[in-house]
Structure 1
């Protein structure tokens, strides 16, 4: 199968999904060392990725993508730490990854690049804590890393200079993504049923709010009681 390249938007979409499977990246979880549970989570991740339109991969291909993303992220994080926060990453997806990966990578992020473990956590044996590994990867991984680094400026020209996205990124945005992820993991019929129920609840509350509003000469105002 030909290597499937992701652009910045697709990487961000993947990171939204990947974050939900914390057993695959959060080394502080007790179950992180449970290889069987991680393998199950990886299979579910493959399914969700396919359902999300990000492509179809086998386990090994997905491991390589995770490894490459984590490697490039770690390299950027090291640059920030070594520059005493003067370095500003140009990667479009860095901030998204940083939102959840930094907390589990900071402990060893001050080590030299060639001594930092960048291996896919799925390869870590259950009885062994992550150890330092050589950052050298196979040719396919090198190509993957180059693709990820080339996403530094892609999509930027098409994004208007506005703060709308930042201003709307709040607890509700996060909650919506979590709900979406959980719906994708359900059978389609059940997911559609729940979607309808959620929409009904929202519509009911909106109607309730609107019932307290009058329209007078085209001007809306809330009743004073």
Structure 2
């Protein structure tokens, strides 16, 4: 490559190759060459491998080379275009070709596509690429575009992966936030703030016994026991859950407490009194049924006669009076709520 430097008078041809300024041969200026003339010269140059392929045996044969140059001069048929001018033109073509190859190599390294604009370059590259190693220009361009497309696809895939990772992280954060919020709501649901309501409630003296439960202490059971003792016994035996056990009624109680908190205090207290009245009413009814079932068997044979029957009439009459009194007390409490 170092032995083929362009002539100063014809260096402009390396820029476009279409309109060289001219060549000197014994002081005669040749005519300007157009693209068609330059392409024809390159074709003739490629027909003689001894002028460009160093692997050919004739490449070092001076006589063969001179004959090849003379054949090109004769084929061109231009006035003033002799052997010296032809050799000078060959050096210009080769030098320009190698410069374009260097630009292509730099563009590959930098990742910026470059395609020569010289009209004769693809033609020269068909045979000079055998010694330059550049390959066909169209193939190189296609390969470069393929590499650029692959890089673009890789960048796009990388961006998609990053976006997917960010989206997954956001979803995980949202799920964690929702779980924490649900856990907090569940905790608040299971642990109502009952002491807060109790501290805010102060019953008036007339509301201290809204359903008349104080009168229950005066009720005497049919078995001779005090009514209050019967209530306490039934409450401890049947209404209290075992220690450490929890069922749906415990959860329901906490649910009711949470719902009462959402209401104004006055409405919550009224609703609490109504619920308590209903519960007390049904407990009293259940208590009466239990006392009737637990009555001791009547002593003595059935043949005791009217005296025995008359004696039994007294307790039965007393039990009926007690039930009526309990029912009256319950209804009186309900009337107070309404």
Shorter-chain-normalised TM-score: which range? Answer: 0.3 to 0.5
Question: If the length of structure 2 is used for normalisation, what is the TM-score?
Answer: 0.29
Higher relative contact order structure (alpha carbons within 8 Å, sequence separation ≥ 6): 1
TM-score (norm: length of structure 1)? 0.43
